[in-house]
Each structure stands twice: as structure tokens, then as C-alpha cells.
Structure 1
Amino acid sequence: MPFETIHIDTLVIGAGQAGVAMSEHLSRQGVPHLVVERNRIAEAWRTARWDSLVANGPAWHDRFPGLEFEGLDPDAFAGKDQVADYFVAYASKFNAPIRTGVDVRKVQRNVGRPGFSVETSEGLIEAIHVVVATGPFQRAVIPPIAPDLAGIVQMHSAQYRNPGQLSEGAVLVVGAGSSGVQIADELLRAGKRVYLSVGAHDRPPRSYRNRDFCWWLGVLGEWNAEAVRPGKEHVTIAVSGARGGHTVDFRRLAHEGITLVGLTKAFDGGQVRFEPNLAENIARGDENYLALLDAADAYIARNGLDLPLEPEARQLPPDPPCLTHPILALDLLEAGVGTIIWATGYSVDYSWLKVDVLDANGKPRHQRGVSSEPGLYFVGLPWLSRRGSAFIWGVWHDARHISDHIVKQRTYLAYRRPSDSLDSPAPAIDPHNSKTSLMGVR
């Protein structure tokens, strides 16, 4: 039901993991706020992922500090619906002020008065601060090389649900990050003939010497790395929690029946051409894998830990024929390919954000989520402050930083010198008490 104009101190746009985390910290610090969400809480986990998807990290790791997954072994991997239910339960834990079914259509800076005007499907919201918590997965990206071919179904991984959804014939999966690898593996197990286009990637071990790779990245300081290493800006990570979790090994996938090809280069009629870089991409993935094993071994030795040896982790399968004699071109009709799945990632979409805060590539200008436009914030984006920023636990910590910043700004906005005119407006707030409301909902 449409509402009359709402006036609030802080508006949070989006009720996924970032929005829920943001609401918790604002609630703890007494900041009047409202969270709006166009669908349901954590909707993307329920309806924008394939049926068998599980979290890529174990339950002890991929969660917020204040709540564990109910009825789930800490070392297990939560299914997508379990993750969505978790965020619903977390939000109810502190009675988060979330209003669903509200689509934000425009955000613009007010002129001659503080704050922002936010046009929504249900009415106008006036807010002093706005936190954009819509995440990085807003618009599925299919590269412009995608052909227009009769008789071949094409879809993004966001549209894929299960093998039964696909028509007869082989499948070309383009993209070898976590989504592409897991989908290709599922299709192979369902009896499909699968071609997997492999680009540059990192592939950490699922576990090593009785510790999950999430633990290793933690103790090695990798989750808190604050800058992307040169050359790693667009490298995907191939990791899987499917079927209890396992290390992604492209050679093993090939020996099981998947045909590996290099990076997809172009389409010419019914033929697709691949870059001659498959061996190079596999080799660099191996280097990343072995480097983490080396770092883990060194950490164990340095700290005197008693963890079991795992020499078999360094034993790589022999190169399959598709690696030693790579396919550089494939006639889709002759190969019987009936479906192309583009596991090629997502981009952000801020077309509704009418504020001068985006760079030439449409990405936010910010420092740890504090944007170049005073009063406007971002949370939930990759590398917002560190490597772990886009992960569940990382979002929670980034949201705390944003909440602290908002509290400080509220104090400055409320400050008033004794010499100020009695006629000048001043917010009804104690500058030494951040829990006093600056503006409530009315």
C-alpha cells in the first residue's frame, strides 16, 4: 500500500546480506533508519541462483557473528534457501525496520536543504543519509560476442536452474569461475556432453591439512588484504562447496568427461573460436593452488602446528588430450551443442542513482564505502575495504564502519554554538549522545 512521504535519518536500499548487516549496526547505535527492498529479504539467494547452489564457504565461516545456522554442521555448506532463511531470521532477531515490495526509482541530492529525495514505487522518502546496499550482482553480463544462432538456446548462469531445464544436445559453458565450474560439473553428472571454456582463474584447495581454505586465507591474512595484486583485478576463483565440498581440478573434470577449451574468442556463423591459452590458464591456476599449499606449509612450520601431512594434495592428474591437443574452433552444429550458458558474471546498475558519484565506467567513487558525495554510502561491493568485503562476514564488518561514519556525521550536523541565532533551525539531538534521534519516521 503506498505511503505518504517518509522522513528518516538513514535510508538503506536493499535487504540482502549487506542491507541486513547495515540495519543491525544502525540499530545498535540508535540511528533511525528504514530498509527498503523491491522483493523479499535475500531474494537473490532464492530465485536468482540454480537449484543446487550452496555457499562456497562452510557454515562456521559464511555467517554473521551473532547467529549460527540452525541445524547445520559448522563444516557443512548451506544451501541457497538456508542462506536466505538465515538472513530472514537474523533480521527478525533485532526487529529490523525492513519494508519489502518497494522499488527505488530515483535518488537525487536536495537543493537548498540537506539530504536526498528518493522516489519509490510506493511514495517519496526524504533521507539525510542513503546507504546503497544493492550488491554487485545487479545485471547479468553476456559479452557482445554472443551470437544470434537459430536452434541454440542461450542463457546466463542467473537463468540456469537445473539440467532438466535444458533441451537435448551438448552444452557449452563459458566461464570457469565458481558458477561455471559447478554448473558444468552438474550437467556432466546429469549425462550431458559438456564443453567448458576456461579463462584466467585462481583455484584454491577446498581444504588442506585438515583446514578449509577459508581458514587458511584467514590465518595467512589474505581476507584482510586491502589492495588487489597487479594482474588479479579480473581473475575469477574456482571453488566449490557442492556435494560436501571438493577442490576444483580442471584436469580431473576433463578425465571425467568434460572437454576443456580456451577462452571464448569469437563466433563466425555456427563456429566458435577459442584463444590458444588453455594450457597457460591451467598452469597459472596450478601455480595459485601450489602457492597456497606452500604458504600453508610454511605457516604450520613457523607456528609449530600439529596438522596431518597431505602429500597427495600436490599430485596433479596427467594432462588430458583436450589440454595437450586443444580445440581452437568448434562447429556447434556438428558438436550437437543445443545450449550455451554464459557464466560470465555481473555488473552493477546505478541508472536510478542521479547523484554525481560514479566514475566513467559507472562504478562508485568511494573510500571504504564512504562515497565522494557527502551522505551517500555503499556497502556489499567487492574490495570495498578488503578482499573479504563481498563475502558474508566481510559485509558485516564493512557495514559497521559505515554505521560509525554516519554516527559521527550526525553528531556534527547536530552541533550548535551558543552564539547561533535562536531563530536558526537546529536538530533536536544531544551532540554527545549518538543514540538520540535526529529524525524519526513520520
Structure 2
Amino acid sequence: MPVETIDTLIIGAGQAGIAMSEHLSAAGVPHLILERHRIAERWRSERWDSLVANGPAWHDRFPGMEFENSAPDAFPGKEEVADYFVTYADRIGAPVRTGVEVTRLGRNPAGPGFRAETAQGVIEARRVVLATGPFQRPVVPAIVPEGAGVVQMHSTAYRNPGQLPDGAVLVVGAGSSGAQIAEELLRAGRKVYLSVGPHDRPPRSYRGRDFVWWLGVLGKWDAPAPTPGTEHITIAVSGANGGRTVDFRRLAAEGMTLVGRTETFRDGRLTFAPDLAANIRNGDANYLSVLDEADAFVARNALDLPEEPEARRMWPEPSCVTDPILSIDLAEAGIGSIIWATGFAPDYGWVDADVFDDRGRPVHKRGVSHEQGLYFLGLSWLSRRGSAFIWGVWHDAKYLADQIVIQRNYQAYRGPDGR
């Protein structure tokens, strides 16, 4: 089988890969995108049925195309988001090759650049952009053993309440995924326990403007990458049910039982950290800080945005917060399933390059690694807070495309003697 060659190879055809293709095409850089499944596959097959985008349609999109079937302030469903990227790829003529998995990537031993091995053959490329995104390997803490008598799954495997066996459900993780799944189960009539760890809890909207607008005008989307170890702050925000602020006290008032961080399991009993009240309180502090900054911005700029004093009213403390549950016997509580909404870890075991730290995370500067010609795109905090969002990855891709063009121009230079 002959070896195929290309200037730039993009691995992954999600939002990052499609954005990268648009900018490389505009710059005249020959490239190819390899995708092991379908375009934007994770939106279709690794998310629950009712998932919607966490930002409104006017904001969470590429600059060149709007969502066709959602009003600007609506939150598009996951299938519409996936269809958006398929349509966008077709519109820009992105050279996507689906159903091709890269099993190994390393330096080309016979020349410059890299060698990508696939079941369909070998591809050599001068440059490679790893656009596989931040949601690679689901993380399930080794707390409850498989033989504990409950169904366990990561949030990527959850689809809808009917998928689960009868009984109560414990959802571990109170970020966007955990909070939305827990509320869906509660609305379906399930008894729900929600394990709430440290989190930020912004308002969905305030004074007539969505949270994403406030982040923009307050300059928070452009916040630089935080210090190591604080990159992945759990954020409880939701576009579900038309979009409303996640309020754990309200969920408790509606029948949900809140517990602290899930810690240990022994003899059929789970234990929880005594941190629930502190986690709720710190989430409130984050929420109120956004309101304070928004009010100051309105006053400073004399904006005609209606006051919203009710936004500062908190639901009463539920008994599960004032008298926290520190352990639960799964059988006695009737818990038949546990959903781990506990995030993801990087998975670059197929990449043979010395560009990762001791936790397997890419080492880079704005997506540019120290391995010449190897780039990363679509990661959280790649260059700023907005990097992992649809519009943010588009701007990061523009920067990487510029770097690729700069390197191509240097490499194309011929000295006075023509060499």
C-alpha cells in the first residue's frame, strides 16, 4: 500500500478540526482531516438524549454560520449541534475522511514531519494538529467495585431515565452534566441523590442578558489559562428546559437529596465528605460575585438594563444541608444505579512524542508544542477561558493556522544561491 503524503494532517473532525480546516483552506495550506467515526460524533453517541448546548445559539457558533432551526436565544439540541458541523464542513469543503482511526503517530524516521499509521494505510505529514478535544477518556473513580450490586456508568453512557433499572439513582458530580442529568431523573419521578463537590455556580441570565454575554463584556472569556491544577473548575450551568440557573437548594426543595463529595465504599455503604454546606456556600459566593460585577458594569456604563433584586434571594437551607447525610447503605436507600459525572482525562497513548507531562497532559503554548510541527487544538484553557467553546476554538484555530503559515514561509525560503 503506497504511503500518502500531505502538508498538514488534522486528527479529529469535531468543532476543533472543522475550524482548523477553514483557516488552513483560507491560507492555501493543503491538509486532510481524519475522523475515526462521523463528524462531531461525540455530540451524537456520547451524550444523553436531552442534552442541549450550554450557550445560546447566537453565541455558541462559528462566525460564518448561524443555527438554522433555533432562535438566537434558544439552546440547540445535541443533534442540531452535530448537524451544524456536518453542514459547516460541507459548506467550506473540508477534506474530511471519516471512519479512519489513527492508531499511532510519531516522527517520520525517513524524513521531516510525522508518520500516522491507520488501518487504511500510512500518511506522512509535515505538520499535525491534534484536534481530538478535551473529552477523551471518561474518568470513573475506583470507589464502588463492579460487584456491588448496582448499575454504574459514566455520564457518557447515560441516555435517558428509562435506560436505568428501577430504584433510586445517585449522581456523582454537580457540574453541568451532573446537575442536568440529576434534574432530568427527578422530573421523571426518580428518587435522586446528588453528590455535590466544589463548583462555580453562575447565573444563567441576569438583568435580561445571558451569562455568556456577561462573560464577554466583563472580559472573562479572555482570562488567561490559570495556574496548573486549577484548569478544570466544575461549573454548574445549564441550557436545559429553556435555560435557568442551577440552584441546588431549589432542587432539594423539589425532592432531591444532596450529599457531599463521594469518598469511600465498604460493606454496601457509601460515605460522603462533610463539605456539602461549604461547597454550596462557595458556589453562592461565585454566583453573587458575578451579580456584583454585572451591577457595577451597568452603573459604570449607564446601561438601561432592568434591576433584578430577586436574583439575590436564596432558597431556604434544606435539611440535607443543615443536617448532612454522611453515609448511605445502598440497599436500604434503594439505590439501583450510580451515574459518575466525574469528567475526563487525556488519552494520547497513541502519540509517540515527548510533549506530555507526568499526568499525560499536553505541554504547549497556545497549542504550539516544542515538538516542531505538532499542535494541539480544542483543549480547555488552550489560550484562554473560551478555548473549549465552539466560538473560542474557532479563534484558537486561526492563531494556529497563522503559526503554520509562518513556518511554511520560512521553510519555503531559498537563499541567494537558490538552496
Aligned to 2:195: 197
Aligned to 2:385: 387
Q: What amino acid is the match of 2:123?
A: I
Structure 1 residue 230, shift from structure 2 partner: 8.5
Q: What amino acid is the match of 1:123?
A: G
Q: What amino acid is the match of 1:179?
A: S
Distance 1:176 1:278 in 2: 11
Look at both structures and tell me which one has the larger radius of gyration over its CA atoms.
1
- Over aligned residues, Cα RMSD in angstroms? 1.2
Is the contact made by 1:380 and 1:390 (CA closer than 8 Å) also made in structure 2?
A: yes
Moved more, 366-375 or 223-232: 223-232
Q: What amino acid is the match of 1:79?
A: G
Is residue 287 of structure 2 the alignment partner of residue 289 of structure 1?
A: yes
Q: What amino acid is the match of 2:362?
A: P
Q: What amino acid is the match of 1:371?
A: S
Q: What amino acid is the match of 2:400?
A: I
Structure 1 residue 419, shift from structure 2 partner: 2.4
Aligned to 2:33: 35
Aligned to 1:25: 23
Tell me the SS of whatever aligns to 1:366. Answer: coil
Is the contact made by 1:149 and 1:270 (CA closer than 8 Å) also made in structure 2?
A: no
Distance 1:112 1:54 in 2: 47
Is the contact made by 1:8 and 1:127 (CA closer than 8 Å) also made in structure 2?
A: yes
Aligned to 2:87: 89
Moved more, 388-397 or 352-361: 352-361
Distance 2:352 2:144 in 1: 31
Is residue 247 of structure 2 the alignment partner of residue 249 of structure 1?
A: yes
Q: Pick closer, same or farther for the CA change 1:263–1:219 going to 2, 3 Å.
A: same
Q: What amino acid is the match of 1:272?
A: L
TM-score using structure 2 length:
0.98
Aligned to 1:437: none
Is the contact made by 1:171 and 1:341 (CA closer than 8 Å) also made in structure 2?
A: yes
Is residue 49 of structure 2 the alignment partner of residue 48 of structure 1?
A: no
Is the contact made by 2:259 and 2:272 (CA closer than 8 Å) also made in structure 1?
A: yes
Distance 1:146 1:383 in 2: 31
Distance 1:40 1:366 in 2: 28
Distance 2:110 2:416 in 1: 24
Post-superposition CA distance 1:9-38 (Å, at most 9, x none): 000000000000000000000000000000
Q: What amino acid is the match of 1:304?
A: A
Q: What amino acid is the match of 1:280?
A: A
Q: How does 1:16-415 map to 2 (within 5 A)?
A: 16-111=14-109, 113-228=111-226, 232-415=230-413
Q: What amino acid is the match of 2:272?
A: F
TM-score using structure 1 length:
0.93
Distance 2:4 2:147 in 1: 50
Distance 1:111 1:34 in 2: 21
Tell me the SS of whatever aligns to 2:162. Answer: helix
Query: Runs of at least 4 residues of structure 1 off by over 3 A?
Result: 229-234
Structure 1 residue 359, shift from structure 2 partner: 1.1
Aligned to 1:436: none
Distance 1:66 1:88 in 2: 14
Distance 1:364 1:304 in 2: 44
Is the contact made by 1:36 and 1:100 (CA closer than 8 Å) also made in structure 2?
A: yes
Q: Which among 5, 12, 15 is matched to residue 13 of structure 2?
A: 15
Q: What amino acid is the match of 1:410?
A: R
Structure 1 residue 110, shift from structure 2 partner: 2.0
Distance 2:150 2:129 in 1: 42
Distance 2:414 2:295 in 1: 58
Structure 1 residue 113, shift from structure 2 partner: 2.0
Distance 1:269 1:87 in 2: 48
Is the contact made by 2:8 and 2:31 (CA closer than 8 Å) also made in structure 1?
A: yes
Post-superposition CA distance 1:317-365 (Å, at most 9, x none): 1000100000001011100000000000011100110111111111111
Q: How many residues align?
A: 419
Aligned to 1:6: 4
Structure 1 residue 94, shift from structure 2 partner: 1.1
Is the contact made by 2:55 and 2:239 (CA closer than 8 Å) also made in structure 1?
A: yes
Tell me the SS of whatever aligns to 1:201. Answer: coil
Distance 1:231 1:252 in 2: 31
Is the contact made by 2:225 and 2:231 (CA closer than 8 Å) also made in structure 1?
A: no
Structure 1 residue 285, shift from structure 2 partner: 0.1
Distance 1:315 1:33 in 2: 54
Distance 2:207 2:410 in 1: 51
Q: What amino acid is the match of 2:46?
A: A
Distance 1:229 1:130 in 2: 27
Distance 2:227 2:197 in 1: 18
Distance 1:71 1:196 in 2: 33
Q: What amino acid is the match of 1:284?
A: N
Structure 1 residue 148, shift from structure 2 partner: 3.0
Tell me the SS of whatever aligns to 2:147. Answer: coil
Is the contact made by 1:141 and 1:347 (CA closer than 8 Å) also made in structure 2?
A: yes
Q: What amino acid is the match of 2:261?
A: L
Structure 1 residue 420, shift from structure 2 partner: 5.0
